[in-house]
A and B are shown apart, each in its own frame.
Chain A
Amino acid sequence: QQQVKQSPQSLIVQKGGIPIINCAYENTAFDYFPWYQQFPGKGPALLIAIRPDVSEKKEGRFTISFNKSAKQFSLHIMDSQPGDSATYFCAARQTGANNLFFGTGTRLTVIP
């Protein structure tokens, strides 16, 4: 059973567009929701993370929106660039745990 459901599986946008990747969960014991970015040939790297008591967090062009009542969160990339082309994973951590539950990933392609 997938603890964190991610969509879409792939996404193609024009340069300057705003791709949105969505994730949903059921477990209310999750206390951190990180996003990871993976370029081809590399391991994933932490991009940005949010706690459930915050509705939005921005870091540069990357924004997480969090809807606690709907148990959904999403990643928005403002003014997307070809260099943002990568696979993005959402994840969740249960309170007191050491491991993460990852979504299935979204392959983003930004066309010049």
Chain B
Amino acid sequence: DVKVTQSSRYLVKRTGEKVFLECVQDMDHENMFWYRQDPGLGLRLIYFSYDVKMKEKGDIPEGYSVSREKKERFSLILESASTNQTSMYLCASSLAGELSYEQYFGPGTRLTVT
């Protein structure tokens, strides 16, 4: 059974803290993605990676960075957390090529920044 796991289900951080969200997939997928989900705004792509050490900006990269040192692991970093980054964060992975439309999602991390 395919699996995408995220390091935390719930996280509470203070404004200005550096926050790390970790995602691991066990499907040997080339592509990995980070989204944030907010009511009425749907799924917005923050960053994605199509290979180790490769990354591309999505629609809302400001305030975030990412790291992919190993194929199975993709980290999202909030350099200095702010209250407007309170959200649900979803990680996903997919194969490259024809089947890249089939993304597998983790359960999400609900981040609260106070």
Contact = CB atoms under 8 A, between A and B. Distances in A.
Contact of A44 (B43, B45, B48): B43
Contacts, number: 59
B100 to A, nearest CB: 5
A6 B43 CA distance: 12
B21 to A, nearest CB: 14
Nearest to A99: B48
A99 B45 contact: yes
Tier of interface size on chain B: 20 to 34
A98 B100 contact: yes
B74 interface: no
Contacts of A6: 42
A99 B58 contact: yes
20 contacts: A32-B101, A34-B102, A43-B105, A44-B103, A45-B104, A46-B101, A49-B101, A91-B101, A93-B100, A97-B100, A98-B30, A98-B50, A98-B96, A99-B33, A99-B100, A100-B45, A102-B44, A103-B42, A104-B40, A104-B41
Given A44-B105, A91-B101, 14 more contacts: A9-B40, A32-B101, A34-B101, A43-B106, A43-B108, A45-B104, A46-B101, A49-B101, A93-B100, A93-B101, A97-B100, A98-B96, A104-B41, A104-B42
